[in-house]
Amino acid sequence: MPSLSSRLWSQLSWSRVRRSPKKGTKQRNRRRPNTSSRLFFRDATSVAGRLVWRLPVILLVAATGIYGLITGGHASRFYDLGAARLDQAVRDAGFSIQNITITGLNRVSRDAVLLALDATGKRSILSFDASTAKLRVQRLAWVKRAKVMRLFPSKLIVDIEERTPFAVWQHKGKQFLIDPDGAVITELALLPDAELPLLVGAGAPKAATALLNVLRLYPGIGKKMKAAIRVAERRWTIKLRNGIDIWLPEENIGRALNDIVQLDISHQLLSRDIVAVDLRLPDRVTLRTNARQSNKRDQQIGRPLAGGNSLGRGV
């Protein structure tokens, strides 16, 4: 039987053995994560979280600032400042506008074209907008078409086509000079001395070319014409210098003028004491008498046929 002292010694030895570190203890210590990396990820996560919460505030402040720049006009100032510095550098490199050649000028002044071009020495040829300048030049009176070309490094070429005076249009107490297309060239303070046809009434400029082209075929009437009056934008009334009015139909103007020429040859129609010749009806010519003959009935003359006969009652 073991003694008391031997039993105590064995228990003490056993407890030491149990308290001794196990073989896997060092391995568990080696598998521990690095505390520095854990701190790094923790800090990064906290920073990202703070940014996520503050991002709407940052965006709101940025949007407010941009809105203030735009509404206050400061954004355009920053842009203009940068564009001006860039354009200055281009001019310093030899691309400034130094020479402007303008051709086709007759009634339009050179100063008016230069003002419309807006091609000052403070602008480079690269920043000069030729298309926009062309539109400004074409808005000038007398200018029908314009070409604006850039010739690098420092030259502009402008070719002008001016409008041709065609007639004078009188409307609502004002006189305008128009071209063959019916476009208004300029307003006139007084009627010009040139022998230009006088047109009166709304819609006259657009229909004038067709009428005047037909009148050229009948110079006997065209030379006696004082004015052509557009009636209801549908037909013409020719007012002769002797006071007689010729009421033309809406269509077949050439046929009506030919009839009145033939009647004037055969009946001295345009030398009679009458007020108007009504050609609006296709089958007859009606003569309107003046006030001294107001008790007489309007006279009618049949239109002459190709063979020289006439329709209706002759006078």
Claim to verify: residue 188 and residue 279 sit in the same structural domain: yes
How much of the chain, in percent, has pLDDT values that exceed 90? Answer: 50
Q: Is the pTM of this model over 0.75?
A: no
**The pLDDT of residue 169 is above 80:** yes
Distance CA 250, CA 282 (A): 11
pLDDT band at 185 (very low <50, low <70, confident <90, very high): very high
Claim to verify: residue 290 and residue 179 sit in the same structural domain: yes
Most confident of the following: 9-13, 15-19, 44-48: 44-48
Considering its fold, how many domains does the chain have in total?
3
Higher pLDDT, 147 or 300: 147
Higher pLDDT, 283 or 178: 178
Mean pLDDT of 199-224: 95
Claim to verify: residue 155 and residue 258 sit in the same structural domain: no
SS3 state of residue 1: coil
Q: Which of 303, 276, 302 is nearest to 288 (CA)?
A: 276
Claim to verify: residue 290 and residue 242 sit in the same structural domain: yes
Mean pLDDT of 281-306: 64
Look at residue 193 in the predicted model and tell me its pLDDT: 62
Claim to verify: residue 80 and residue 171 sit in the same structural domain: no
Q: Which of 250, 257, 243, 251 is nearest to 285 (CA)?
A: 257
Look at residue 94 in the predicted model and tell me its pLDDT: 79
SS3 state of residue 203: coil
**The pLDDT of residue 150 is above 50:** yes
Claim to verify: residue 237 and residue 252 sit in the same structural domain: yes
Mean pLDDT of 239-256: 95
Which of residues 115, 133, 162 is at a domain's end? 162
List Cα–Cα distances, 105 to 108, 111, 131, 158, in angstroms. Answer: 6, 11, 20, 10
pLDDT band at 290 (very low <50, low <70, confident <90, very high): confident
Q: Has residue 315 been placed in a domain?
A: no
Q: Has residue 14 been placed in a domain?
A: no
Q: Has residue 70 been placed in a domain?
A: yes
Residue with tokens 């006030």: 291
List Cα–Cα distances, 86 to 90, 98, 119, 250, in angstroms. Answer: 6, 18, 17, 63
Look at residue 119 in the predicted model and tell me its pLDDT: 85
Claim to verify: residue 133 and residue 82 sit in the same structural domain: no
* Average pLDDT along the chain: 78
Q: How far is CA 291 from the centre of its chain?
A: 53
Claim to verify: residue 193 and residue 247 sit in the same structural domain: yes
Q: Which of 261, 171, 254, 168 is nearest to 220 (CA)?
A: 261
Q: Which domain holds residue 239?
A: 167-302
Most confident of the following: 83-97, 162-176, 187-201: 162-176
**The pLDDT of residue 238 is above 70:** yes
Which of residues 113, 134, 162 is at a domain's end? 162
**The pLDDT of residue 293 is above 50:** yes
**The pLDDT of residue 296 is above 70:** no
Q: Has residue 151 been placed in a domain?
A: yes
Which of residues 63, 93, 123 is at a domain's end? 93
Claim to verify: residue 261 and residue 184 sit in the same structural domain: yes
Contact 117, 136 (CB under 8 A): yes
Mean pLDDT of 108-131: 89
Q: Has residue 65 been placed in a domain?
A: yes
Q: What is the CATH classification number for the domain harbouring 173? A: 3.40.50
Look at residue 92 in the predicted model and tell me its pLDDT: 78
Q: What is the CATH classification number for the domain harbouring 150? A: 3.10.20.310
Lowest-pLDDT range of 41-50, 200-209, 294-303: 294-303
